[in-house]
């Protein structure tokens, strides 16, 4: 039994390929780990705000010294971190937007990367604090980036691997539905991506 956190970031609801792919990953995980629970955090529905001066200032204040205004400013970030700490497995569904992650996912990351909570420089070197968790990335794109001329222009994958690794999430597997905008590829793209999902 595992606690699974599903982060979704497409505004396309039931038509979203990245959400569909994430759900396939979760279906396989639940077969593997019967009784697993799933928490969904829909970043579009929850409308993650950009970091403001209040959050940036409060990030540096230890919890025991925070004012009530600072605690209020950190509510979204605290909740984001708590969800991550609680999860055994994190599935992140995202569309490729302009060769990178959508801004809703970037906003979530800005709330999740918290000094003293998800990373620390206590030893003088950066250390991620989210240890022992598995991450699955479920990416959807109109182009093909797994191979060929566009491969160097998927900036989402290296960025996510780096920033998730920075907070200690180093065990990362990516699945993709790609080529959904390319005639000759698009006809089978969704099924091919869904079929590619293999767990463990």
- Which residues in this chain contact ligand FMN in the complex, by CB under 6 A? 10, 12, 16-19, 95-99, 140-143, 180
**Nearest distance, CB of residue 14 and ligand FMN, angstroms:** 10
99-116 in b/e form (b: 16+ CB < 10 A) is ebbbebbbbbbbbbbbee
Minimum CB–partner distance for residue 12 and ligand FMN (Å): 4
Residue number of the CB atom closest to ligand FMN: 95
What is the length of the chain? 200
Among 111, 60, 118, residue whose Cα is nearest residue 85:
118
- Min dist CB 89 to ligand FMN, Å, is 20
Dihedral, 70, 75, 77, 81 alpha carbons, nearest 10:
120
Residue 95 vs 168, nearer CB to ligand FMN: 95
Looking at beta carbons only, is 10 or 77 nearer to ligand FMN? 10
**Which of 90/92 has CB closer to ligand FMN?**
92
Q: Which among 124, 52, 110, 51 is positioned nearest to 81, based on CA atoms?
A: 110
Cβ proximity to ligand FMN: between 22 and 168 the closer is 22
Residue 154 burial (10 A CB sphere; 0-12, 13-18, 19+): buried
Rank residues 119 and 136 by Cβ distance to ligand FMN and give the closer one.
136
Q: What is the smallest separation between the CB atom of 96 and ligand FMN, expressed in angstroms?
A: 4
Beta bridge partners of 140: 95, 177
In whole angstroms, the minimum distance from the beta carbon of 6 to ligand FMN comes to 13
């Amino acid at each position: 039994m595992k606690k699974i956190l599903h982060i979704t970031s497409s505004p396309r609801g039931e038509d979203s390929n990245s959400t569909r792919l994430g759900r396939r990953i979760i279906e396989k995980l639940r077969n593997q780990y019967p009784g697993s629970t799933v928490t969904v955090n829909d970043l579009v529905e929850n409308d993650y705000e950009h970091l403001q001066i209040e959050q940036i200032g409060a990030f540096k204040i230890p919890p025991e010294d925070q004012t009530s205004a600072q605690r209020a400013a950190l509510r979204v970030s605290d909740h984001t971190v708590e969800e991550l700490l609680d999860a055994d497995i994190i599935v992140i569904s995202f569309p490729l937007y302009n060769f990178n992650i959508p801004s809703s996912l970037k906003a979530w990351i800005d709330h999740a990367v918290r000094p003293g909570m998800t990373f620390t420089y206590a030893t003088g070197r950066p250390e991620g604090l989210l240890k022992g968790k598995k991450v699955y990335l479920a990416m959807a794109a109109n182009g093909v980036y797994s191979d060929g001329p566009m491969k160097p222009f998927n900036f989402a994958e290296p960025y996510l691997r780096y920033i998730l690794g920075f907070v200690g999430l180093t065990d990362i597997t990516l699945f993709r539905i790609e080529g959904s905008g390319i005639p000759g590829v698009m006809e089978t793209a969704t099924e091919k991506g869904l079929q590619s999902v293999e767990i463990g």
